[in-house]
Chains A and B, each alone.
Chain A
Amino acid sequence: MYRYDEFDAAFVKQRTDQFRDQANRRLSGELTEEEFRPLRLMNGLYLQLHAYMLRVAVPYGTLSSKQMRRLAYIADKWDRGYGHFTTRQNIQYNWIKLEDTGDILEALAEVEMHGIQTSGNCIRNVTTDHWAGAAADEIADPRPVGELLRQWSSLHPEFSFLPRKFKIAVTGAPNDRAAVRVHDIGLRMHKNDKGETGWEVMVGGGQGRTPMIAVTVRGFLPERELVPYLEAIMRVYNLFVRRDNKYKARIKILVHELGAEKFKSEVEAEYAKHPAQTTEVDERELARIANYFARPTLDKQSRFAPHFEDAKIKNKEFARWARNNLALHTDDGYTIVNISLKPEGGIPGDATGEQMRVMADLAERYAHDELRVSHAQNIVLAHVKLEDTFAIWQELVKHNLAAANYGLAGDIIACPGLDYCALATARAIPIAQSLSRKFADLDKQEKIGPLKINISGCINACGHHHVGHIGILGLDKKGEEFYQITLGGSSGDSASIGTILGPGFAGDEVPDAIEKILDTYVKLRAPGEEFLAAYRRLGPAPFKEALYAAA
């Protein structure tokens, strides 16, 4: 199980004490807001519409049961009894008081948690595949490399005051679940003919107001070279990027403006300047880090799980949940449990303190004490015996955590939107709720098949609308909310940015519009053809026709 080392524990403690002092000085008036703002942001504390918001880092989305219980405790003691799991695999609390924040950070530090690198113009906490270390299709667990990069980037003086925020995602599987092509740097593990592993390095992806797909600058970089090579990328970024306009200060703009080839040659030239790399990583150090993520010992199970099979026959609802929410594990008799935080009509990603404790207890009892937060705002138990899934499901049902819609139309990503966020231009959650109710019928969802509906409440795209198969972007038109629909986005292996279909809709028109799009798909799809494949084959025309043809 992942843990901090002694260095990190001392550092987080020091930072917590510092912040308590800074907050006290702000409250006494010794620090102005201008002075205090960057300090609070360095610790994940934002000022939002109704209160302060605290964003807590969950590195690689990985949590122990003890940590999850602490998150529940914070929700109950200092917030309003719930938290919001985010598309960056973190958790946010919406009702935080500045005067409590020192105590909250101390409570987090006691379980090796904090809000560092969740905000500001630094290398943010690294995100990854929520099935890391468990998925059947994986080459190797990418989290040790994520941790290597965190240790390298935390407090790195050269990269602490970047022109803009900088996000890195890593995956160790050929099926990309970490959206690596829409990050500033994406890393993907490959295996060559000799059986060696190396990393594809992708640069310049991103969402926000200028969505871009990253370009590959190296196809197969040995792991020990990752840190010096990423340093070369960061230096080229720091040297060349525009600082005159914050919207043009992300690396994606630089890659786009220089051109991929020119950017690559600049990186290679920078990399060649330092032939005797002092930051190349020692194999022993890599092994030491990898040991933090050692797999739990899984007792050998038979491939056939009789109780599981029997329960599916006897209980149709369980069978449906098992069909949709379980994923293929490396080991016979094991599975990956995906707990959907998207109940019908619910708020995507929200969980109550009680629900967090229930999931923590389940993880402790059945899943080697480990939970994951996914970027789709769900919770994962990564190593579970098939024979235990019925007991888990029964417990989930009792706590409104058994939505059997994982990866389907009801599994909607939505940012907090104008209900909470100071940057939002429209609400996102009510749209998610109305769609969730519209497609409440799970038979219908299963007939539609795998689908990603992603909703953002502003152009900053925290709800990943650009890479939703169906993306919905909430905007403000003369003080009224309206919503643009895009089709054909994907954060997967063949990543693509969605295309705007046509004029936007009022919020209450969105569910009908989405239904028309899905009806069109169902009518025109080839047997077994998923939504994204059908859209790529058909193009936007039939969908436009369905939506905008004169009645």
Chain B
Amino acid sequence: MSTIEKGQVMTANRLADGEVVFLTRSGTWNEKIDEAVLAQEPQAIAALEARAGEGVKVNHITGQYLFDAERVDGKIRASHIRERIRTLGPTVRMDLGKQAEGTAGAFAAVEG
């Protein structure tokens, strides 16, 4: 049996180059979704929002928001295709983006 935990992940774009990043447990921003915190409790979600606000102030990131995700066998899967594409790169250019740079998420944009 695989274990599934549902929650939310905080994402943003890095200010200087626009790279998609995710907020980690240590409060840093990482390019890999699997490094992200999956917040499940309202308190944890509020903490992500507060930290993201700090990220905006110290000018690392821009355009932050939360999205729904789940952890499946230790890997984080974004619920919506849009966010899965953001963890990978364009589905029509597998040679570009995170999928080409070793920072991809573990789940395909479209399963099956």
A contacts, CB < 8 Å to B: 26-29, 33, 47-52, 80, 95-99, 347, 418-420, 424, 427, 429-430, 433, 479-481
Contact = CB atoms under 8 A, between A and B. Distances in A.
Contact of B82 (A28, A96, A418): A418
24 contacts: A26-B15, A27-B59, A29-B57, A29-B58, A29-B59, A47-B18, A49-B86, A50-B86, A50-B89, A52-B17, A96-B18, A97-B16, A97-B17, A97-B18, A99-B17, A347-B92, A418-B81, A419-B85, A419-B90, A419-B91, A429-B90, A429-B92, A433-B92, A479-B80
Nearest to B60: A29
B96 A80 contact: yes
A98 B20 contact: no
Given A47-B18, A50-B19, A429-B90, 18 more contacts: A29-B58, A29-B59, A33-B63, A49-B20, A49-B82, A49-B86, A50-B90, A51-B19, A96-B18, A99-B17, A347-B92, A418-B82, A418-B85, A419-B93, A424-B82, A427-B91, A430-B91, A433-B92
A420 to B, nearest CB: 6
A51 B92 contact: no
Interface string B10-22: 0001011111100
B79 interface: yes
A49 B85 contact: yes
Contact of A27 (B16, B81, B93): B16
A429 B93 CA distance: 10
B7 interface: no
Contacts of B110: 481
Contacts of A427: 91-92
A398 to B, nearest CB: 22
Q: Is the interface of A mostly helix, strand, loop or mixed?
A: mixed
Contact of B90 (A27, A420, A479): A420
Contacts of A418: 81-82, 85
Contacts of B82: 49, 418, 424
B97 interface: yes
Given A50-B86, A50-B90, A479 B81 contact: yes
Q: Which 4 A-B pairs have the closest CB atoms?
A: A51-B18, A419-B90, A97-B17, A29-B59
Interface of B: 13, 15-20, 56-59, 62-63, 79-82, 85-86, 89-93, 96-97, 110
Contacts of B13: 47, 51
Nearest to B90: A419
B11 to A, nearest CB: 11
Given A419-B92, A429-B92, A50 B63 contact: no
Contact of B96 (A27, A29, A95, A480): A95
A424 B91 CA distance: 14
A52 B79 contact: no
A28 B15 CA distance: 10
Contact of A47 (B62, B79, B80, B86): B62
Contact of A50 (B15, B20, B57, B79): B20
Contact of B18 (A98, A429, A481): A98
Nearest to B62: A33
Contacts of B93: 347, 419
A429 B96 CA distance: 15
Contacts of A49: 20, 82, 85-86
Contacts of B91: 419, 427, 430
Contact of B16 (A98, A433, A481): A98
A99 B15 CA distance: 9
Contacts of A479: 79-81
- Which of A95, A97, A419 is most buried by chain B, counting CB atoms within 10 A of its CB? A419
B2 to A, nearest CB: 20
Contacts of B63: 33, 47
Contacts of A29: 57-59
Contacts of B57: 29
A404 B20 CA distance: 39
A470 B29 CA distance: 44
Given A419-B92, A429-B92, A481-B81, A52 B62 contact: no
Nearest to A480: B81
Contacts of A420: 90
A165 B38 CA distance: 39
A49 B91 CA distance: 12
A47 B91 CA distance: 19
Contacts of A98: 15-18
A19 B5 CA distance: 45
Nearest to A28: B59
Contacts of A48: 18
Contact of B17 (A51, A347, A419, A480): A51
A99 B110 CA distance: 33
Contacts of B79: 479
A427 B110 CA distance: 11
Contacts of A97: 16-18
A418 B81 CA distance: 9
A316 to B, nearest CB: 31
A273 to B, nearest CB: 45
A82 B74 CA distance: 36
A341 to B, nearest CB: 14
A465 to B, nearest CB: 18
B66 to A, nearest CB: 16
A93 to B, nearest CB: 11
Contacts of A28: 59
A345 to B, nearest CB: 10
Contacts of B17: 51-52, 97-99
Nearest to A53: B18
Contacts of B81: 418, 479-481
A438 B44 CA distance: 49
B15 to A, nearest CB: 7
A98 B16 CA distance: 5
Nearest to B20: A50
Contacts of B85: 49, 418-419
A48 B17 CA distance: 11
